[in-house]
Structures are given as C-alpha cells and as structure tokens.
Amino acid sequence: MIEDYCFRFYKIFPLIFYFCLHLYFYSVSIKHNTNRYRKFYDLRFWICD
C-alpha cells in the first residue's frame, strides 16, 4: 500500500514539476519577448517525453 502510494507520487511529481517549469519559462519569455526560454523548455520537454 505504501509502496504503491510512493510509486504514484514519483510518477506524478515530475509532471507537476515540469508543468511549473513550463509556466515559469513561458511567463519569462513573454516578459522578455524572446523565444530563447521557450526553445530551452521545448528541448527539455522533448528529452523527457
């Protein structure tokens, strides 16, 4: 039961982390009006996908 919960947590946590990272870099890219941050995130997302 506990192991199953931990497994689920570790499966979901990276998704939450990368979602927050996406929001952060997206907002920064809008603020600075550049695609550099978006490209950086897309690369990481592609690697993790």
- DSSP states along the chain: -HHHHHHHHHHHHHHHHHHHHHHHHHHHHHHHT-SHHHHHHHHHHHHH-
Predicted confidence at residue 49, as pLDDT, reads 42
**pLDDT tens column, 1-49:** 566 777 777 777 888 888 888 788 777 766 665 556 566 666 555 554 4
pTM over 0.85: no
The whole-angstrom separation of Cα 47 and Cα 49 is 6
